[in-house]
Each structure stands twice: as C-alpha cells, then as structure tokens.
Chains A and B, each alone.
Chain A
Amino acid sequence: MNAATSPPGYYGLPVIHRSHWKWLVIFYFFFGGIAGAAQAIAAVAAARDREGNRDVIRAARYVSLAAFLPCPALLILDLGRPGRFLHMLRILKFRSPMSIGSWTLALFGAAATAVATGQALDDRPSLLPDGIASLARRLLGPASVVAALLGVLLSAYTGVLLAATAVPIWAKRSRLLGPIFVASAMSTAAAAIDIATESRRIALLEGICSATELAVLAAWFARLGSIRRPLAAGRLAPLFRHAVIGAGIAAPFGLRAIGPHMPASARRAIEVMAALLTLVGGFALRYVIVVAGAESADDPAATFALTAAPGSEAGR
C-alpha cells in the first residue's frame, strides 16, 4: 500500500524484548572466561613442559580458582528468584546453552577447587593431614584434565548463549561470537597469569590470542552489515574503538614493542601495564557486546533486517 511513504514497523517500537542482563552478567562473562581459559592454559603448559612452565601452571591454577569464586554469586544474584537457583540443575538440556553453562560452571567449580587444592599441597605439603593430602595430590592429574575440558566449554558457551537468541547483533553472525569470546577469554586469562608470574611464554600467548581476537572482531564487524549500528555509531562506538581495540589490543602490542628498548628495571612494569590493559579491554568487550545487544533488540530496523522474508528487500 503506502510502503514507500511510511517506514516499516509499528511506530518504531521494538519487535522483540531486550534481555535484562547488565553488570552482574558482564562481570560473570569476564571472570568466567578467565577461570575457564586459565585451566586450559595450565593443562596445555603441563602437557608440553611441566618443569619449564612450573610457575605458569601454578599461577594459572590459582588465577582460575580466584576468577571462578565470584561467578556463582554473580549468576544467582542475576536471577529473578535467586532462591530457586538449584532449578538450573533439575534437568540437563543440550538444546539450551544456559543449561549447558549451568552444569559446566557447577562441575568446573568442583574441578577447579580440586586442582587448586592439589597445587597448594604441592607448594606446601604440610597444609593438610597426610591422608587427605595424598588423596588430593593423586586427584590433581585427573582433576586438571577435567577442569581444562570444562574450562574450554566455560569460556566458549557464553558466546553461543548470546548467538542463540533473537537479538540481531548477537544472532546475525552467530558463528563468530563464540570465537570472539574464546579468544578474549584466552587473552585475559593469559594477562592475569602474566601479572601473577613473570614468563615470556605467557606474554607470547597473550599476544597470539589478542591478535586472533582482533582478526575475529574485524570480521564480525565487517559482516554484520547494517546490524552493526550500535558498534558503529552512538555511545558504544567510542568505547568499542578506543577501549576494546585501542586500549585492550593495540596498546599492549605497542608497549611490548617498546619494552625491550627500555631500561631493564622498567621492563617488568611495562609488561604488567600491557597485561592490565588487556584485562581492561576484555572487560570493555563484554560490556560493549552485552549493551549492544540491548540496543540492537530495541531497534526494529535491525530485527526486520535479520528476519526479512527470503527474496524480499531487507526489512522493506
């Protein structure tokens, strides 16, 4: 009828409902990613060169448990009915990333605790009575493998969880969201370990993960088309450009490039600064992606672009 004169849609009102997720979930995505990826890094380091990576393995295991600890509380407080948090474990549902994630987090917590306990006994054998200590140390090997596998899933499922929604900016390029979360989890975990212990190897890994993150982010941004709007314009755009890319990815590379030319006494400080910036960037990335989802859900043009009938002009 008058499609040419009236804009598509209904008074510009949102087609879908935005998620309520805000700070609690943003912090959870950040800490959960670090906790999961740190276990995977520890296991790979142990598999490759247990003696040479001793400090990295120890730091990774403690970092993982420390990052895990706030996670259950963050998620439970985010529920409308926190008292019913155990309902998350009344069924296991493979089709629901939230169900997979709940089980993963619960089992990961047990494994990460076992791993940290075993590590603590390695560091200080007198910490616990002999009987318990020997049991805990025997459990360390299997527990670290289980924790690493669950950790990979923990750092990966959050991107899947967002992709499996009707929110245009999360749904449009759903296959790139998981890799973004995985790469950022790995880079932030490496950064946290880097701060806890001095290691050229972990700094190298951090760089590899950050570079991967940048490449996937660029591909994601480019392929979102018109749906990228919350990232390209508006209040999130400078945060995405300057905090996520600039401070979080470019600046650490710059600092590491100038590091070797600085006095030896300043090199460690520069490395720690680079790692801190990676952590800031990783947090900003979670913030930008979650908030962009809310803005995208509120934009009927984005929803219509995602759900245009095959063969029609997008959204009409």
Chain B
Amino acid sequence: MTDNRRGVTLAPDHAVGFLTDASLCIGCKACEVACKQWNGLPADDITGRLTGQSYDNTTDLGATTWRHVAFVERASGPATAWLMLSDVCKHCVHAGCMEACPTGAIIRTEFESVYIQPDICNGCGYCVPACPFGVPQLDAEAHIARKCTLCYDRLRDGLEPACAKTCPTDSIRFGPVADLMAEATARVETLRARGVADAQIYGDLASGGTNGIGGLNAIFVLNAAPETFNLPAAPSLPADRALPAYASALAAAAGLLGAAFLAFGRRRS
C-alpha cells in the first residue's frame, strides 16, 4: 500500500497504532478538531457547562469525542507546571469491549485495531462498562456504541489517522507499534536524563498500563503518574473474570439444588 508522510508501509497483519507523547503536547486540540472533521462528529455542546477545569471543556472520551486533550495545572515550586495529554482509544491487544460484544460488531481489523461495525451494533451497551479505560459510549443519536476507529477508512486508503496527520508538534505519531515502542523507550530515557523522574511508557507490557490486556496498540509517553491523566495504572481484562465467576455461581447452584433435593424428600409434617 501507499507510504504515508512518516514513511509507514501499511500492510495487513501488521499492527499499527499511536504513540501519544505528553511531553510534546501543547494542548492545541487540533487532534480533537481533525478527528471530528474527518469522522463527521458533532461539536461537544459546552453551552452553559464550561467546566472551569483548566482549559478542558471536553472532559472525557465519548461517543462523539474520540480524542480528548487533558489539561493539568499544578504547582511546581514557585511556578505552575502544565501537563497535557491527548487521550484516545488504546486499541488493546486483548480488548475488553471486543470480548464483551455479544453481536460480533466489534472486530479486530487487518491493522490490529479495534473497530465497531456501525451496521452490526445493536446498542446493547455492554462494551461501555467492559472497557477498563472508559472509551466506548452509546451515541444518543445513532443509539449504537461508538469510539475511535483508528481512522479505518483512511488506513484503507494508505493515509495516517487524521489526529496524527494534524498534530503540529508530533506529540501524536502513527506507525507500526514495534517502531513506536522503540521511539517511546528512547524518549523516556531522554526525559529521565533531563530530570523528568515520572517519565514512563503507558501501554508497555513491562512498565504498566496492562494486566491481562496483552499490551496496547495506542501507547503513551507520560511525564506524570498515569492517574494524573485519569489513566488506570494496572487495568485488568474484565473478560478474564468470567470463568471463575461461572465456576463459583454454578457451584452455588449445585449446593442449593442439593439442599432442595433434601428438602423435597423431607417427610411432610
């Protein structure tokens, strides 16, 4: 397929994703706008609900907000430290939403991204609480679950996702996940050498952001603890809880039905 701006070759069965680097983000929200424009998503209605939370009036990822720039202001000695990060769907290697989906609407694409087929989803909403990162959400107008598609339509045409294309500081980079991980590792070393003690990769099997999830295809370089950006430090894969839960539930049923067997043979008084 076509090479894009960063010289990434898109080929099937070749995991591609995002590297989003908090230390390079300037909070311009161009990614949010480019995402909404390309994907035809409506603007967030902030009438009467300006949050007062720094410059963040988006607050969260949602059905029509697939990039969300978090703004954190906090005291750092005499000055104020600015932390900014563009959050997005993690396109998990083992995705909670996809495991939960009963209709098969949520699929793994040839790019290893996680995609909700809008014509299959029936809006049951189970993927919503099944995502440990709070990404998919039911759309109030379309009545189906929606989230970042990793610009599946653009990838098919050899283009990189709109947010990565538009990011003016290259805080959002697109490419093969293995390459991005190498870039992230080097970046964290650089940041640590410059004295950013909290610099870390989020979404790496070794350094956290995963626990049964098998890694993320959208990884992050953070310059503060994950919780600072509302990211869970060690989320687990919800579907892994099903089998033990079935076992205990069926054991309880067996026990109670055994009791019923005894009760039903009891001499009637």
Contacts and interface: CB of A to CB of B under 8 A. Distances in A.
Interface residues of B, number: 83
A308 interface: yes
Contact of B72 (A5, A10, A18, A212): A10
A226 interface: no
A173 B79 CA distance: 44
A251 to B, nearest CB: 21
Interface stretch (B15-23, B35-43, B100-108, B150-158): B100-108
Contacts, number: 271
Q: Is the interface of A mostly helix, strand, loop or mixed?
A: helix
Which of B60, B253, B259 has most chain A Cβ within 10 Å?
A: B253
Contacts of A160: 242, 245-246, 249
B121 interface: yes
B235 interface: yes
B124 interface: yes
B152 to A, nearest CB: 20
Contacts of A297: 129
B122 A201 contact: no
B28 interface: no
Given A41-B260, A85-B122, A307 B99 contact: no
Interface stretch (B168-176, B186-194, B222-230): B222-230
A134 interface: no
B122 A84 contact: yes
Interface of A: 1-3, 5-6, 8-11, 13-21, 40-41, 44-45, 47-49, 52-53, 56, 78-82, 84-85, 87-88, 90-91, 93, 95-99, 101-102, 152, 155-157, 159-161, 163-167, 170-171, 174-179, 181-183, 186, 200-201, 204-205, 208-209, 212, 216, 293, 297, 300, 303-304, 306-310, 312, 315-316
Given A78-B125, A179-B248, A204-B266, 15 more contacts: A1-B81, A14-B60, A16-B134, A79-B124, A80-B144, A84-B122, A87-B120, A96-B99, A98-B101, A98-B102, A160-B242, A160-B245, A160-B249, A166-B96, A174-B245
